[in-house]
Every structure is written in structure tokens, then in C-alpha cells.
């Protein structure tokens, strides 16, 4: 049996004295889709950045596709990991002018050698990624002229052009309108059904229940709960998670949660 | 983003322009020379006074100008990526301030030119280590902290420079002011600067794509496999050393380090090539070198036989050109 894409053993993560998770034993395999839910400040982003290898855990073991984290040697392992795991940050910054195509091509970096330039194949992959997020005609647009939602879709396209097997997404639906939220989640879950794995920090338990097969709940005090979305995302758990009563509504086989 | 072929083409054109600017510098001056004299001087044949002037005076000075311009433009481009701030220049972190304190102290003490250069280099290194040490203090290394430390150290150096200027004897003031404005008349040999420029390009170009990512944010760069910490330390070190060598060679020549990377970047953006360091770094070095060669040629010919400090000319030329281009830059490209 091959190594799981992401695995943690007795993982302890904290930030600024706040405990994010205690004794997290968790694994993500190819084909799975996970939602991470929790209230503001519970540490969802911190955990995701730790899982991505961008910050060190307090203790415990963590591995991405067999590479133990934190890396013993930065230089070699970081590129190898970047070919396997993609990370979508919550904030995109563009201090310098740049075109949309250029920004997407950045995702090809881990696949290129030190002296390589982006090939026609890289451009094809980048163009296909733009197509997938509905930015087909935008290749030559200046990034700084994009709207918030367009910029977010561009960030997702950049991640697609990276062609990772493990997608770690910090609030991928930020700035997106309803139709693009649905399109983005469908596109990402298609990736999962074709052999990748996605782990997404989400805010809407309804979206999580509809698009993710599994969920990891962070209660904000180090406690966590992981399992199939049907079992984990319940009105009781959600009320406890967000500290606010919630009602579960069912329509067309989907479950939605509204504040009670 | 340019293709590799286009980038090489652009660089070839810039190399041509650099050679042209050097030829202009060799031919222009108060002593009229013929094309034959220039050829004679370059081919190593013996000739008359003109050949001696070209080989002994104009060629070393032009080469020093090229090297300094290249060093400053390259250092500026690196600093702009490091601080992720288009307004950064090689002097923003106090390197030139440290060098100025060293150089002016040496002048005040009446030391020789060689010792003055040594003092300038020592001052630049001291400022670099001081800023790095202070900014690095508790191992956190944020941009704003680095920038603030640099600006404060530069301000401190500025105060010391003002102190030296106010206690210096009158006959030394002119030399000090020329140093502060940047003047290639004091360059001893162009070779150290040229060698450092070549080395600087050699060590930075392999990391150019990593720098592209770093310009888009540390998190993104790290997520895509860049060792952000070591690359950032590396750029700081290289950019500081390049600046220190340039300042030691010719004083603190302003504007080249800020304006040239900007001009190149604006030109690249107008061509739709964005901010690609793989082209930007070598193109800045070549353009900065050529520009300083031309500016220095003007500085020593425009009111000959009197010579102007080249820093005055780079500023006088750089400011309007920069404002013109900035004003014409399209705000959006829809």
C-alpha cells in the first residue's frame, strides 16, 4: 500500500499560546475531499499552513507523500513537496505589475529546472487552468485590474497549473459569487474523484456537507473531530462548533444549516 | 513573460548599446580624437598623445562608470525584490551612509586615496552588518523591520556626515561634496568593480526565477518550493556587497539604482513581459552601466574643462525621464 498523501501522528499545533489541535492523528488519502470547519480564530489557517509545511508544528509527526515535516534539508525537499502539494493562501498580493498569464505560470515553478524557461507545454497547462476557472480571455490582462473574485479564481488557476496531488485550500471561496463558489467546489471535487485529494478550510457547513466527503472540526481549544461528513456535520456538532444554535434544513438531498 | 530567445535578443541589443556608449566615452572629451586613435588605443598599438589619453584616462574611467552603473542598477533591482517595494534603492538600507562616514573621516584625517577607499568599504560593511544584526535581533526578519533599521542607520550616518562637513577645513569641503554626490574622477581602477559585477550576475541569475516568486510574497514562494529564508539572506548580502563596491569606487552616485530597474521594468511591462527577474537583472546591469558611462561623459564634457560630479547629472537626467515614463504608464490594460 502506498503512503498516504498527508499523515499526522500525535500532532500538536499552537499559535501565540493558543492551542489549535492536540494529539491530532489524521490521514488524507488520494481521492478524498476534506473540509476543515471551525469558528474564527480556532486555528484553521494555522493548521493548514502547518500541514503544508510552511510553519513548524510544536511536536508530533507530520508527513506529505512520505516526506517528513519539517524538512531536514530545505533545498531539495521543498521542491519535491511543491510538486505534490499545492497551497492556496488566504491573501494574494501583487506589489509589482504582472499579467494574468505570467501569474498562472508561476505555478509551474516546481516543475522547472534551474535554467529552464516556461515551455509551450507549460503555457498550454496554464491556459487550460485559466479556462477551468472561467478566465479564458484574461491571459494578457494586468493582474492589478482584476476584481476580487477574478483575482481569487486566478489564484486557484495558479494552483491548478502547479498540478499537485494534494490541494490545501485556505478559504478557496473568498470573494467568489454564488455561481463561482459552486463552480469552484465542483471543479475541485472533480480533481478529488480523479485521484487527487483536497483539504479546504470552509465557512459554510452546507457547502462542506454538499461537496466534501469528510470533515475535520476544530473546536478552538485543541479538541478536534474527524470523520465522514454525514456523521460529523450535524446540527448538534455545528452548534457546538460555532457557539450558536443552528437548524438543519434538507432540500433535494442536500443539507443546509441556517442560524437558529 | 518573455521567451528565452527574446530575452537573449534584448540582452544582445543592450550589449551593443553598452559598447556604443563606451565608444562615445572614449571619443568625447576636451582633447579631440579620431576614430583611428580609438582603434589604435583599443588594439594596443602605440600612438600619440590622443592614444595615451584614451588608454590611460578615458578607458579606465569609462569602464569604472560602466561597472558602477551596473552594480548600482543590479543592487537596486535586488533590493526592490527583497523589500518587495518598488521604491527601494541600493542606499535605502544605509550602505552608502556607512561608506560616506568612512570616506569622509579618511578625508578629514588626510589619508591617501587608497586608504580612503578602504575606509569607505569598511564603513559600508559596518553599516551592512549593523543593519542586519539589528534587524535580525530576535531571528524574526520582517521587511518593515529591516527597512526601518536601514532608514534609521542611514539617518544616523547622515548626521555624522553633516558633523564631519561642518568641522572640515574649507579646502577639503569640495572633495567631500564631490564624493557625496558621486564622482568617477576618484576611481582608481575599474577592475575590482567589473569583476564584482560579473560575479554578482553569476550568483544571482541562477536564482532569478526564485526571485520572481519572492516578489509575489513569501508564503507563495515557500509553498512553491523556494527556501525563502536563505534566498532572502543571500540577496541582502549580495546586494549590499555590490553597493559597497560601487560606492567605494565612485562615491554615492544617486538615482541609477532606483531609476534604471524601474525604467527596465516599465519597458518590460509595456511589452507585456511583466516583472521577470531573469531578464530584469542582466538588462538592468547593462542599461545602468551604459547610462552611467554616458552621464559621466556628459559630466566631464558639458562645461569642460571643469568637471561636474556625475551624481548631479544622473539626478538631473533621471528625474524628468522617470516622471515622464511614470506619467505615460497606463493605469490599466483592459
How does residue B330 score in pLDDT terms, banded at 50, 70 and 90? low
* CATH number reported for the structural domain that contains residue A39 in this entry: 3.40.50.300
CB contact under 8 A, B333 and A87: no
Grid cell listed for A245: 444554535
Contacts of A149 (CB under 8 A, 6+ apart): A175, A176, A177, A180
The partner residue sitting opposite B222, judged by closest CB among A54, A98, A103, is A54
Angle (CA) B324-B329-B331 rounded to 5° is: 140
More confident residue, B58 or B138: B58
pLDDT at A72 over 80: no
Of A79, A96, A103, the CB nearest to B225: A79
Instruction: Point out the domain boundary residue: A163, A182, A203.
Output: A163
Q: Is B85 on the interface with A (CB under 8 A)?
A: yes
Round to whole Å and give the CA distance between B176 and B179. 5
Looking at the partner chain, which of A89, A95, A109 has a beta carbon nearest the beta carbon of B225?
Answer: A109
Band the pLDDT of B295: cuts 50, 70, 90. very high
Instruction: State the Cα–Cα distance between residues B36 and B140, nearest whole angstrom.
Output: 60
Taking alpha carbons only, the member of B87, B118, B72, B95 closest to residue B240 is: B95
Give me B319's grid cell: 528625474
Whether residue A73 is predicted with pLDDT greater than 50 in this model: the reply is yes
Q: How far apart are CA A104 and CA A97, in angstroms?
A: 14
My answer on whether A9 and A75 are in the same domain is yes
The CATH number for B77's domain is 1.10.3470.10
Q: Count Cβ–Cβ pairs < 8 Å, chain A vs chain B.
A: 95
- Please tell me which of B16-25, B146-155, B258-267 the model is most confident about, judged by mean pLDDT: B16-25
d(CA A9, CA B168): 69
Number of structural domains found in chain A: 2
Q: From the CA atom positions of chain A, what is the Rg in Å?
A: 18
Clarify whether residues A74 and A5 are in a common domain. yes
Q: Are residues A49 and A22 part of one domain?
A: yes
Distance of CA B226 to the CA centre of its chain: 27
| pLDDT-based confidence at residue A1 (cuts at 50, 70, 90) | very low
| B314 vs A1, more confident | B314
Residue A2 in this model has a pLDDT that exceeds 70: no
Q: Is the pLDDT of residue B9 over 50?
A: yes
Residues 6+ apart with CB under 8 A from A124: none
Looking at the domain assignment, is residue A182 inside a domain? no
| CA atoms of B61 and B59, how far apart (whole Å) | 5
The answer to whether residues A132 and A157 touch, using CB atoms and an 8 Å cutoff, is yes
Does pLDDT of B314 surpass 80?
yes
Q: Is residue B7 part of a domain?
A: no
What does each C-alpha distance from A125 to A118, A143, A159, B225 come to in angstroms? 11, 19, 11, 19
Query: At CB < 8 Å, which residues of chain A contact B?
Result: 49, 52, 54, 74-75, 78-83, 86-87, 89, 92-99, 101-103, 105-107, 109-110, 112, 114-115, 117-118, 140-142, 144-145, 162
Cell triple for B70: 551596473
**Secondary structure element (H or E) that encloses residue A82, with its range:** helix A74-82
Count of domains for chain B: 1
Please give the pLDDT value at position B309: 85
Determine, for residues A96 and B265 on separate chains, whether the beta-carbon distance falls below 8 Å: yes
pLDDT of residue A74: 62
Pinpoint the alpha helices (H) of chain B: 4-27, 35-43, 49-53, 59-82, 95-108, 113-136, 143-167, 170-181, 191-204, 208-214, 218-223, 228-250, 256-270, 277-301, 310-328
Q: Suggest the residue from B2, B11, B204, B224 to mutate for an interface test with chain A (most A CBs closer than 10 A).
A: B224
Nearest by CB to B3, which of A83, A117, A141? Answer: A117
pLDDT band at B45 (very low <50, low <70, confident <90, very high): confident
| Spatial strand order in the sheet of A214-218 | A85-88, A166-170, A197-201, A33-37, A214-218, A224-228
- Beta-sheet pairing, A166-170 with A197-201: parallel
pLDDT digits (tens, 9 = 90+) for A240-254: 999 999 899 998 888
CA distances from B23 to A36, B38, B249, B283, B290 (A): 66, 8, 21, 19, 11
Does B191 fall in a domain? yes
Q: How far is CA B283 from CA A153, B11, B190, in A?
A: 33, 6, 20
Question: Of all residues in chain A, what percent carry a pLDDT higher than 90?
Answer: 77
pLDDT digits (tens, 9 = 90+) for B95-126: 889 999 999 999 999 888 889 889 999 999 99
Domain that holds residue B317: 73-325
Which of A260 and A120 is assigned the larger pLDDT?
A: A120
Cα separation, A82 vs B195, in Å, equals 36
C-alpha torsion B237→B239→B240→B242, nearest 10? 120
Q: Does B84 touch chain A (CB under 8 A)?
A: yes
pLDDT at B328 over 80: no
Q: What is the pLDDT of residue B138?
A: 52
- Say yes or no for a CB contact (<8 Å) between B85 and A95: yes
Same domain? A100 vs A24: no
Between vectors from CA B26 to CA B20 and to CA B31, what angle results, nearest 5°? 140
A95/A74 same-domain check: no
B174: confidence class by pLDDT, cuts 50, 70, 90 = confident
In chain B, which residues have their Cβ closer than 8 Å to the Cβ of A123? Answer: none
Domain boundary among the residues A163, A181, A209 is at A163
- On whether the CB atoms of residues B215 and B277 are closer than 8 A, the answer is yes
* pLDDT for res B13: 95
Cell numbers for B222, please give them: 515557500
Whether pLDDT at B184 is above 90: no
Residue A73: CB atoms within 10 A of its CB come to 8
Q: Cβ of B5 under 8 Å from any chain A Cβ?
A: no
pLDDT above 60 (res B334):
no
> Residues A146-159: pLDDT tens digits?
999 999 999 999 99
Which pLDDT belongs to residue A8? 94
Q: Which domain holds residue A236?
A: 1-84+166-173+193-260
Task: Provide the CB-side half-sphere exposure for A185 (13 A, CA).
Answer: 25
Using the predicted structure, report yes or no on whether residue B332 has a pLDDT greater than 50.
no
CA distance B223 to B213: 10
What confidence score (pLDDT) does residue A28 get? 95
- Interface pTM (ipTM) of the complex? 0.91
Handedness of CA B323, B325, B330, B333 (dihedral sign): negative
Residue B1 is nearest to which of A52, A80, A105, comparing CB atoms? Answer: A105
* The pLDDT value given to residue B137: 57
Residue B48 or residue B101, greater confidence: B101
CB atoms closer than 10 angstroms to residue B84: 16
Q: Nearest-CA residue of chain B relative to A112?
A: B209
Q: Look at residue A178 and tell me if it is in a domain.
A: no
Grid cell digits, residue A182 = 459552486
Q: DSSP labels for B82-105?
A: HTT-TT--TTTTSHHHHHHHHHHH
d(CA B93, CA B98): 10
Measured between beta carbons, the chain B residues lying within 8 angstroms of A102 are 1, 274-276
Residue B93: per-residue pLDDT: 85
* Average pLDDT, integer, range B5-31: 91
Q: Are residues A109 and A157 in the same domain?
A: yes
Q: Are residues A25 and A73 in the same domain?
A: yes
Question: Which grid cell sits at B270?
Answer: 509595456
**Domain membership flag for residue A181:** no
Which residue in A has a C-alpha nearest to residue B275's C-alpha?
Answer: A98
Mark whether A79 and A197 lie in a shared domain. Answer: yes
Same domain, A70 and A97: no
Within a domain: B9: no
Choose one of A141, A163, A185: the last residue of a domain: A163
Q: Which residue of A has its CA nearest to B7?
A: A117
Amino acid at each position: 500500500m502506498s503512503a498516504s498523501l498527508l499523515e499526522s501522528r500525535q500532532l500538536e499545533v499552537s499559535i501565540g499560546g493558543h492551542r489549535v489541535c492536540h494529539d491530532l492523528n489524521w490521514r488524507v488519502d488520494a481521492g478524498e475531499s476534506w473540509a476543515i470547519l471551525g469558528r474564527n480564530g480556532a486555528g484553521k489557517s494555522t493548521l493548514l499552513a502547518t500541514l503544508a509545511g510552511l510553519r513548524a508544528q510544536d511536536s508530533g509527526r507530520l508527513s506529505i507523500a512520505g516526506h517528513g515535516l519539517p524538512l531536514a534539508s530545505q533545498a531539495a525537499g521543498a521542491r519535491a513537496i511543491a510538486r505534490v502539494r499545492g497551497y492556496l493562501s488566504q491573501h494574494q498580493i501583487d506589489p509589482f505589475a504582472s499579467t494574468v498569464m505570467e501569474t498562472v505560470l508561476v505555478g509551474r515553478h516546481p516543475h522547472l529546472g534551474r535554467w529552464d524557461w516556461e515551455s509551450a507545454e507549460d503555457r498550454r497547462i496554464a491556459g487550460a487552468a485559466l479556462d477551468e476557472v472561467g478566465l479564458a480571455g484574461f491571459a494578457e490582462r494586468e493582474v492589478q485590474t482584476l476584481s476580487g473574485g477574478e483575482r481569487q479564481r486566478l489564484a486557484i488557476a495558479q494552483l491548478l497549473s502547479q498540478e499537485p496531488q494534494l490541494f490545501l485550500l485556505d478559504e478557496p471561496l473568498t470573494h467568489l459569487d454564488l455561481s463561482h463558489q459552486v463552480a469552484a467546489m465542483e471543479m475541485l471535487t472533480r480533481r478529488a474523484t480523479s485521484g487527487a485529494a483536497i483539504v479546504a478550510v470552509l465557512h459554510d457547513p452546507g457547502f462542506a456537507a454538499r461537496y466534501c466527503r469528510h470533515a475535520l472540526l476544530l473546536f478552538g481549544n485543541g479538541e478536534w473531530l474527524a470523520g465522514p461528513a454525514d456523521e460529523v456535520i450535524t446540527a448538534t456538532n455545528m452548534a457546538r462548533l460555532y457557539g450558536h444554535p443552528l437548524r438543519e434544513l434538507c432540500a433535494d438531498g442536500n443539507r443546509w444549516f441556517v442560524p437558529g | 513573460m518573455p521567451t528565452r530567445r527574446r530575452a537573449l535578443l534584448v540582452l544582445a541589443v543592450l550589449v551593443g548599446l553598452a559598447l556604443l556608449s563606451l565608444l562615445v566615452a572614449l571619443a568625447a572629451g576636451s582633447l579631440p580624437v579620431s576614430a583611428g586613435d580609438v582603434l589604435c588605443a583599443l588594439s594596443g598599438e602605440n600612438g600619440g598623445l590622443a592614444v595615451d589619453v584614451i588608454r590611460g584616462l578615458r578607458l579606465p574611467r569609462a569602464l569604472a562608470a560602466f561597472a558602477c552603473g551596473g552594480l548600482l542598477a543590479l543592487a537596486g533591482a535586488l533590493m526592490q525584490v527583497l523589500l518587495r517595494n518598488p521604491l527601494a534603492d541600493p542606499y535605502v538600507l544605509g550602505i552608502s551612509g556607512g561608506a560616506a562616514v568612512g570616506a569622509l573621516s579618511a578625508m578629514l584625517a588626510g589619508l591617501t586615496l587608497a586608504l580612503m577607499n578602504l575606509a569607505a568599504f569598511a564603513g559600508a560593511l559596518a553599516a551592512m552588518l549593523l543593519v542586519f544584526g539589528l534587524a535580525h535581533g530576535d531571528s524574526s526578519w520582517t521587511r518593515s523591520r529591516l527597512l526601518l533599521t536601514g532608514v534609521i542607520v542611514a539617518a544616523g550616518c547622515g548626521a555624522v556626515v553633516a558633523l564631519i562637513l561642518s568641522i572640515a577645513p574649507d579646502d577639503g569641503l569640495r572633495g567631500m561634496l564631490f564624493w557625496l554626490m558621486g564622482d568617477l574622477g576618484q576611481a582608481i581602477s575599474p577592475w575590482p568593480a567589473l569583476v564584482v559585477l560579473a560575479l554578482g550576475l553569476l550568483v544571482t541569475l541562477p536564482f532569478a526565477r526564485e526571485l520572481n516568486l519572492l516578489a509575489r510574497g513569501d508564503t507563495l514562494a515557500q509553498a512553491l518550493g523556494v527556501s525563502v529564508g536563505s534566498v532572502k539572506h543571500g540577496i541582502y548580502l549580495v546586494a549590499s556587497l555590490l553597493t559597497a563596491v560601487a560606492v567605494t569606487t565612485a562615491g554615492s552616485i544617486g538615482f541609477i539604482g532606483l531609476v534604471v530597474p524601474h525604467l527596465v521594468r516599465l519597458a518590460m511591462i509595456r511589452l507585456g513581459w511583466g516583472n521577470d527577474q531573469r531578464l530584469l537583472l542582466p538588462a538592468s546591469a547593462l542599461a545602468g552601466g551604459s547610462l552611467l558611462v554616458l552621464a559621466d561623459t556628459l559630466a566631464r564634457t558639458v562645461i569642460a574643462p571643469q568637471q561636474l560630479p556625475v551624481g548631479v547629472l544622473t539626478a538631473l537626467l533621471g528625474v524628468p525621464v522617470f516622471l515622464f515614463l511614470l506619467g505615460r504608464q497606463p493605469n490599466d490594460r483592459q
